[in-house]
Structure 1
Amino acid sequence: MTDAGLVLEGVSAAYRDARVLHRLDLEVHRGELLVVLGPSGAGKSTLLRLVAGLHPVAEGRVLIQGRDVTTLRPGRRNVSMVFQSYALFPHLTALDNITFGLEVRDVSRAAARERARAAAASVGCAHLLDRRPGQLSGGERQRVALARALVREPDLFLFDEPLSNLDPELRVETRGELKALHARLGVTSVHVTHDQTEALVLADRIAVLRDGRLEQLGTPDEIWRSPATVFVARFVGSPAMNLVPAGGPVAPEGMPEALGPERLLGFRPEAVRLDPTGSGAPATVERVDVVGEDAHAYLRLADHLIVARVPASARPAPGDPAEVAVRWADVHVFDAGTGQRVPL
């Protein structure tokens, strides 16, 4: 535990009578950027609010750098949180927004402003310090919010969907800046998002949350290449992973014959080949979505619809017949009842 920046031990949380987090165990390494990924209602924001002290712990403990903060007020946890809405005071300048948290902690005005200017420079908003939030774009407000978090020199950064209000181009740019900022500062960080691309790009490790429970914890590569459950396999990936019953219309090349219908076969769209030799499973092209250089071909095989990622220049047309082939090396196997990955 000495290397842990944040530890949740059997943590549960509830709203009224509804349990939101269910005895969650999670350890974030000191200096790590952990991304909590999941759909709406998974409990992601509740987890952050609980760590920050903004939501009570129903059971379990929260430790930050080995210190039990479960019952401490937010101001005593030395945590900085960046909200989706930025939460800037509209009547204050950017400089005063950044220094506000310091001045209420009895840091002198001169020292607070010096630290604020340094923090603003580090996130590229030093030229905006005289403006009020209403005079700033969404990306500029986000930078001010980041500077306000940085200036406190916290033990832990918490980011609650901080990029969701930005347009796509700015989101990509700010995502890169966040990653570089974390690499430079090395402060333990927990970043919540429902965006799988954001998670895969930013994270040292990803915690996939579903209905208040941890589905999988691993590096981006582990989450992508070795999904632990059907939920993770379907949630991470666009288009989603194909899932068909073993013994169904797709028989991957080299597949063991012992697999029964209680198993599900999962394979990503890029693993699907449209085999021109006639040796694959017969299918019909239902629709084709062109996405830049790629095309997503949706194929009907008996009662199943699967998707193949193919070059846009070689895409089939709706209504075309096709032969579908998949290599066994590209297949994941899951238990159809539990949804858990089956080791082979």
Structure 2
Amino acid sequence: MAELASESVSPGTGLRLTGVSAAYRREQVLHELDLDVARGELLVVLGPSGAGKSTLLRVVAGLQPATTGRVVIGDRDVTALRPGRRNVSMVFQSYALFPHLTALDNITFGLEVRDTPRAAARDRATAAATAVGCAHLLGRRPGQLSGGERQRVALARALVREPDLFLLDEPLSNLDLELRTETRGELKALHSRLGVTTVHVTHDQTEALVLADRIAVLRDGRLEQLGTPDEIWRTPATLFVARFVGSPAMNVVPSGGPFTPAGAPAVPAGSRFGFRSEAVRLTTGDGTDGTVERVDVVGEDAYAYLRLAGGDRIVARMPAAARPAAGATVRATVGWADTHVFGADGRRVTVA
């Protein structure tokens, strides 16, 4: 039986986008995007609906033309190549399986239309199905499979071509929470084992933080930040990234207002302070008075939604056993070490 070998990943570029723009129905979606993905890297493209995530994948795959710029995969400029010559495999959100074919025939279809001998195609399909955990499903049709099983078949179909680049367009979004959590771990293990350069698109921040070697945060077709999950979380480059990554969203209050982090130095005029809910402390000492508008309890954690003197609203996370009652008056504070500063333009500000 054929085997899918784990290649030794050498340094180099897996994918490079240089000045890539793209339009949809005459409306610009991507704006001169520059992006480098290392060979063997798993890059997650994260952003809200309308950010241009799926358009980026379609441009890389050749399903949509770039209006400007270049697309390089490995050492090949593929900008002008049709999709079949780019050697990329794509998994769609809908899985796009042929309903009248068995799982095995769905997986081998792309090989057979390229004149791969049937026996060799089936051997490779069996190896790909084994790699993603669906070898026992090869005789079934899509209508006989659960969502998670269809997702595995779609992954095997993409993997069987042994592509230079693996493109995943929100492949987990149709799964329920438990299965999505399980499959995230399987995807990460599969990537570690096979080492194929992968671009994974999602709007799910947890998915991005768990899966990615690096995360590219998109907003309105522009790159807001590119960094490791730890960098995105701990040093967000913009106010948008700070608010988008994290649940609940990062608290943001104006500098110069009634709520000032303890030990804060002078900051530029018009700046805003940002801090996460777990950094907020309720205290009987120095702090800013506020009223508890509501409390959400999630297992061992509680989230107290506070309206501060002056009208700002923030969220404080704490152990559920230590939560205040709704309507209570409390005093809140946050340390300077836990505070981010963003300028009037929304960019991160470094304060000495």
TM-score, length-scaled by structure 1: 0.98
After superposition, where does 1:107-122 map in structure 2 within 5 Å?
Answer: 107-122=116-131
Which residue does 2:330 correspond to in 1?
Answer: 322
SS in 2 for 1:270: helix
Q: Does 1:270 align with 2:278?
A: yes
Q: Does 1:284 align with 2:291?
A: yes
**Structure 1 residue 259 displacement after superposition:** 2.2
Unmatched tracts of structure 2, length 5 or more = 1-10
Are the aligned partners of 2:305 and 2:316 in contact in 1 as well (CA < 8 Å)? yes
SS in 2 for 1:339: coil
Which residue does 2:166 correspond to in 1?
Answer: 157
| Cα separation, 1, equivalents of 2:319 and 2:36 | 41
**Structure 1 residue 261 displacement after superposition:** 4.3
Provide the aligned length of Structure 1 versus Structure 2: 341
User: 1:144 is aligned with what amino acid?
Assistant: V
User: 2:113 is aligned with what amino acid?
Assistant: V
| Cα separation, 1, equivalents of 2:41 and 2:104 | 29
| Cα separation, 2, equivalents of 1:279 and 1:222 | 31
Which residue does 1:252 correspond to in 2?
Answer: 261
Are the aligned partners of 1:247 and 1:259 in contact in 2 as well (CA < 8 Å)? no
SS in 1 for 2:327: coil
| Cα separation, 2, equivalents of 1:303 and 1:133 | 54
Which residue does 2:4 correspond to in 1?
Answer: none
Of 52, 56, 79, 1:70 maps to: 79
Identical pairs, percent:
78
After superposition, where does 1:1-344 map in structure 2 within 5 Å?
Answer: 3-256=12-265, 258-275=266-283, 277-301=284-308, 302-336=310-344, 338-344=345-351
| 1:240-293 Cα shifts (integer Å, max 9, x gaps) | 00000111121111111x225411000000000011x23111111001111111
User: 2:339 is aligned with what amino acid?
Assistant: V
Moved over 4 A (4+): none
Are the aligned partners of 1:274 and 1:322 in contact in 2 as well (CA < 8 Å)? yes
**Structure 1 residues 261 and 303 mapped into 2: Cα distance closer, same or farther (>3 Å)?**
farther
User: 1:320 is aligned with what amino acid?
Assistant: A
User: 1:334 is aligned with what amino acid?
Assistant: F
SS in 2 for 1:9: strand
Are the aligned partners of 2:268 and 2:343 in contact in 1 as well (CA < 8 Å)? no
User: 2:13 is aligned with what amino acid?
Assistant: A
Are the aligned partners of 2:304 and 2:324 in contact in 1 as well (CA < 8 Å)? yes
| Cα separation, 2, equivalents of 1:151 and 1:14 | 31
**Structure 1 residues 261 and 282 mapped into 2: Cα distance closer, same or farther (>3 Å)?**
farther
User: 2:316 is aligned with what amino acid?
Assistant: A
RMSD in angstroms over aligned alpha carbons?
Answer: 1.0
Are the aligned partners of 1:247 and 1:260 in contact in 2 as well (CA < 8 Å)? no
TM-score, length-scaled by structure 2: 0.96
